[in-house]
């Protein structure tokens, strides 16, 4: 392979980025957040050059034809230096999109991706995956995007061009289609351009463009947009000066979202396009009266919803109820260990009833486990009874919405039985929408349940805007227009139809059906639509305007025909993938084969295919591979790192004997803190253990480890025992840990629900159900499913976080965390904190053993750090090896918050936040 270009590493996460880095053998580059600073401050012959690399051009071209969007991102990079340089091409694309092409051209030689079935593609990478490397270039990134990244070493005075193609069908949400391009070049670009070309046969009714990184006034000056008739155009082509963050700066202000929104004219109730052997039918009739709705909210009130989740849920429900129309009917069902309904039957959304319901929402409290089955069946029963017994509501649109943050733990907990119970109870009469709050839910289960009942599932991300996410989902289903919508086509004319039966149609949305049309049958082709509207039947027949089809072909040519066929293929594959989720055995294998054949035929990278690139190799002789991540694979994001990041799924974990696996052999006794919170200090030179407690209020953050030489820190926030009895001691436990390594920009936030990487930069969130090994620069994190995680810092320490889950019979009714130090000998002598101060040898003497306050207790006198203390021999538990039962450890207990043992007093260790 040409020495001018070698594939160096295969995974880095950023936004739409091309950035320069020294090649191997160059001086060691700075790490983490320091990288951007060093690039900006580098001495360069011009503001365009960073470390000898110039981005000659970076262009995003998007062509939309009848909702089918075809994107091509092209970038040309030149290395003007006399030595090799490493560059990274980083692109975020929508999760809903399929990659269809990728090519790299260097020194006149092209390397083009080849799509094949995933099993074949990954055979050659099995060795790499096991050894700790991951050749995949695409990783999940944030809520709606996926990250595509490739790194190349470009030879001196050489250039390289990247070209990535991906496609998606735009979905109409709240009266508009959205095109989003993530932008973050990290350095100035000689020729930067985003060009969006839209062709809609119905005609364009509105078009707008915005940028999150520019004010509205600046965007108006820099964005050229126009639309007329069927065509719309948006162009963003800033000069180098317009990209600069200030007139004398060499840094760029391009950093965020570029968003184009548009809608089409609705002069006809439906739009029918037929080209070649495929058709597309777009249905979104206007001027229909909104149907009143029968709405039941089923809300999880188990104790895991405490804190921000229940606060944000209540805020959203209060707003939603306030927005309901007087003609709507509703009720509320709460489920924890038991099930409680507000009224037990539907009531009208009158002002009096809405105010009473809002008061109920403000006052309800959390209780117990998660009786999901009971809550759903109660909500279904309320809707079913209303159809039979409440006068005047039988023509309303019934809707069931469930919100949960966990898995069923009370009542019926078997997934298959719950699916069966819900399916039988609903009986196809109305849709069920499931909202999964946070990453501790089984979203696949919720998606299957919704799919079986004519609805859909959506994750609500545990973030500051969760209230807005809940409100945003409700807004999409708040205004039903039609129920029982059937789109029918002549049976002898069409085949391979996408979904053409919908339980409800909502204002601001659109139904899209596509299929094949038999040869010589176009003259018989039509679409009959039947549905129920407000107090009347809705019927319409849509015909093909042959003359209009000819005109459209003249205007757009083969592209239009090709895009309609690919629109059909895209929708078909997406629907088959959704059906595949709920299948097993031979039935699933047959469907998978069908998806695979379609993916190969239309050259889409889907969950069943992979793209390989021949001729490009990394230092281990491996070629790059491009995959479609599945929803459940929450993967590593290293926005502040220039090294590769590695994520291994459970079945590809290294063996315990592999030093790269991060698996640790735990010592018999370790230093750590657990339960209420009990600090255990192992003193190996004494072959003894000391213990102390810290009694502080919930919400307090304590410094556990702080190394001033490196900045490495571990802080923990206390949570309270909410279920204590009056007068009972309020137990506190660690409910949130923050582990930070500023030298590499690494941050890890750990709670009993989630594990968040680089939370300040919008990094990915992992669930405790994940099994993964992550690497970012000098830090390796190993998540052991539902048990613990281990953090290893090169030239630092190794630490373990233990997950304590609520289990029946537990004396502690709340999930919490334990923290243990497995290895600290490389930490600096200046390391401090409630645990860190004991990482290096210290001396103490115990004498004058005597009977203590109880018959089994022994008191003694301890001299430590020039203090004489009374200590008591007792037992604590070390959960580092057994998170459920623990191992008893005998220790000398130091009273009064460790006074005399710890440096200073315990309040000296209170810090403002976990980072």
- Residue 903 pLDDT level (bands cut at 50, 70, 90): very high
Mean predicted confidence (pLDDT) in 453-473: 92
3-class SS at 429?
Answer: coil
| Position 808 pLDDT exceeds 60 | no
Question: Do residues 900 and 698 make contact, with C-beta atoms less than 8 angstroms apart?
Answer: no
684, two tokens: 């190996």
For 24, phi then psi, to 5°, come to: -60, 135
pLDDT of residue 639: 27
Pairing of strands 397-404, 432-437: parallel
Is the pTM value of this prediction over 0.85? Answer: no
pLDDT digits (tens, 9 = 90+) for 645-663: 222 222 233 333 233 333 3
| Position 523 pLDDT exceeds 80 | no
- Helices 351-363 and 308-323 pack at an angle, to 10 degrees, of 180
pLDDT digits (tens, 9 = 90+) for 350-386: 999 999 999 999 999 998 899 999 999 999 999 999 9
Question: Do residues 714 and 738 make contact, with C-beta atoms less than 8 angstroms apart?
Answer: yes
pLDDT digits (tens, 9 = 90+) for 259-269: 999 999 998 87
- Residue 7 pLDDT level (bands cut at 50, 70, 90): very low
pLDDT digits (tens, 9 = 90+) for 663-700: 334 445 679 999 888 999 999 888 899 999 999 988 89
For 534, phi then psi, to 5°, come to: -65, 100
| Position 507 pLDDT exceeds 50 | yes
Residue with tokens 């206390």: 718
User: What radius of gyration, in Å, describes the C-alpha atoms of the chain?
Assistant: 30
| Position 68 pLDDT exceeds 80 | yes
Mean predicted confidence (pLDDT) in 246-257: 89
CA atoms within 13 A on the CB side of 550: 3
Single out the residue of 837, 617, 480 nearest to residue 8, CA to CA. 617
DSSP-assigned beta bridge partners for residue 847: 861
Cα(789)–Cα(783) distance, rounded to whole angstroms?
4
Q: How far is CA 448 from CA 442, 457, 547, 757, 807, in A?
A: 10, 8, 43, 29, 27
Pairing of strands 625-626, 609-613: antiparallel
Between 141 and 10, the higher pLDDT residue: 141
Question: Do residues 737 and 750 make contact, with C-beta atoms less than 8 angstroms apart?
Answer: yes
């Amino acid at each position: 392979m040409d020495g001018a270009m070698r594939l160096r590493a295969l995974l880095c996460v950023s936004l739409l980025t091309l950035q320069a880095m020294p090649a191997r053998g160059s001086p060691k580059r700075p790490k983490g957040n320091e990288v951007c600073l060093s690039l900006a401050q580098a001495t360069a012959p011009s503001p365009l050059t960073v470390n000898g690399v110039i981005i000659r051009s970076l262009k995003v071209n998007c062509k939309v034809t009848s909702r089918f969007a075809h994107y091509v991102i092209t970038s040309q990079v030149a290395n003007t230096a006399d030595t090799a340089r490493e560059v990274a091409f980083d692109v975020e694309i929508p999760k809903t999109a399929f990659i269809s092409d990728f090519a790299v051209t260097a020194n006149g030689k092209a390397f083009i991706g080849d799509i094949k079935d995933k099993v074949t593609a990954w055979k050659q990478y099995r060795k790499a995956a096991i050894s700790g490397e991951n050749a995949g270039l695409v990783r999940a990134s944030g809520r709606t995007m996926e990250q595509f990244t490739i790194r190349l070493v470009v030879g001196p005075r050489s250039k390289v061009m990247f070209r990535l193609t991906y496609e998606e069908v735009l979905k109409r949400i709240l009266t508009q289609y959205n095109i989003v391009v993530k932008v973050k070049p990290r350095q100035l670009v000689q020729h930067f351009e985003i060009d969006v070309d839209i062709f809609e046969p119905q005609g364009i009714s509105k078009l707008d463009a915005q940028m999150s990184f520019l004010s509205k006034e600046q965007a108006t000056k820099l964005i050229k947009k126009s639309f007329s008739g069927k065509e719309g155009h948006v162009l963003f082509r800033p000069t180098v000066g317009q990209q600069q963050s200030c007139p004398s700066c060499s840094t760029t202000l391009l950093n965020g979202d570029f968003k184009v929104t548009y809608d089409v004219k609705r002069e006809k109730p439906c739009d029918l396009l037929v080209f070649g052997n495929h058709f597309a039918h777009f249905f979104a009739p206007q001027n229909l009266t909104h149907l009143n709705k029968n709405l039941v909210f089923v809300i999880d009130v188990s104790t895991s919803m405490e804190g921000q989740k229940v606060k944000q849920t209540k805020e959203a429900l209060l707003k939603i109820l306030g927005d309901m129309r007087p003609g709507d009917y509703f009720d509320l069902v709460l489920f924890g260990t038991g099930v409680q309904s507000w009224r037990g039957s539907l009531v009208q959304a009158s002002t009096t009833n809405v105010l009473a319901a809002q008061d109920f929402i403000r006052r309800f409290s959390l209780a117990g486990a998660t009786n999901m089955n009971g809550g759903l069946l109660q909500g279904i029963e309320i809707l079913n009874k209303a159809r039979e017994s409440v006068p005047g509501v039988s023509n309303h649109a019934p809707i069931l919405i469930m919100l949960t943050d966990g898995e069923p733990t009370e009542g019926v907990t078997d997934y298959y039985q719950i699916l069966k119970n819900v399916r039988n109870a609903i009986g196809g009469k109305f849709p069920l929408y499931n909202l999964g709050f946070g990453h501790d839910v089984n979203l696949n289960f919720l998606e299957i349940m919704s799919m079986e009942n004519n609805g859909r599932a959506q994750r609500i991300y545990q973030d500051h805007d969760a209230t807005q996410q809940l409100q945003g989902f409700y807004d999409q289903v708040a205004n039903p227009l039609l129920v029982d919508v059937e789109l029918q086509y002549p049976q002898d004319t069409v085949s391979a139809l996408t979904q053409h039966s919908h339980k409800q149609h909502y204002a601001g949305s659109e139904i899209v059906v596509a299929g094949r049309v038999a040869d010589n049958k176009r003259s018989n082709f039509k679409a009959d639509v039947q549905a129920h509207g407000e107090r009347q039947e809705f019927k319409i027949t849509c015909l093909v305007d042959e003359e209009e089809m000819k005109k459209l072909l003249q205007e757009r040519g083969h592209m239009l025909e090709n895009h309609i066929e690919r629109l059909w293929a895209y929708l078909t594959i997406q629907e088959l993938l959704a059906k595949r989720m709920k299948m097993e055995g031979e039935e699933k294998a047959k469907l998978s084969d069908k998806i695979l054949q379609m993916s190969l035929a239309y050259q889409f990278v889907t969950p069943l295919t992979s793209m390989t690139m021949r001729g490009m190799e990394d230092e281990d002789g491996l070629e790059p591979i491009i995959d479609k991540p599945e929803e459940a694979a929450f993967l590593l994001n290293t926005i502040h790192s220039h090294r590769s990041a590695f994520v291994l799924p459970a079945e590809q974990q290294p063996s315990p004997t592999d030093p790269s696996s991060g698996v640790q052999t735990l010592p018999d006794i370790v230093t750590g803190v657990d339960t209420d919170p009990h600090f255990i200090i192992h003193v190996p030179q004494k072959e003894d253990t000391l213990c102390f407690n810290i009694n502080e209020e919930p919400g307090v953050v304590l410094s556990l480890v702080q190394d001033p030489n490196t900045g490495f820190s571990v802080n923990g926030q206390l949570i309270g025992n909410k279920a204590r009895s009056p007068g009972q001691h309020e137990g506190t436990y660690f409910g949130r840990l923050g582990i930070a390594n500023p030298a590499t920009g690494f941050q890890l936030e750990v709670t009993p629900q989630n594990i968040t990487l680089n939370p300040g930069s919008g990094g990915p969130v992992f669930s405790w159900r994940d099994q993964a090994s992550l690497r970012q620069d000098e830090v390796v994190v190993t998540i052991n499913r539902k048990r613990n995680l281990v953090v290893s810092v090169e030239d630092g320490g190794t630490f373990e976080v233990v997950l304590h889950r609520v289990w029946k019979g537990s004396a502690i009714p709340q999930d919490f965390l334990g923290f243990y130090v497995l290895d600290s000998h490389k930490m600096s002598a200046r390391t401090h904190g409630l645990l860190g101060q004991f990482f290096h040898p210290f001396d103490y003497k115990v004498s004058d053993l005597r009977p203590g306050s109880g018959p089994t207790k022994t008191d003694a006198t301890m001299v430590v750090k020039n203090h004489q203390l009374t200590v008591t021999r007792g037992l604590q538990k070390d959960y580092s090896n057994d998170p459920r039962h623990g191992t008893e450890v005998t220790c000398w207990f130091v009273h009064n918050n460790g006074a005399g043992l710890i440096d200073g007093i315990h309040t000296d260790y209170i810090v403002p936040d976990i980072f």
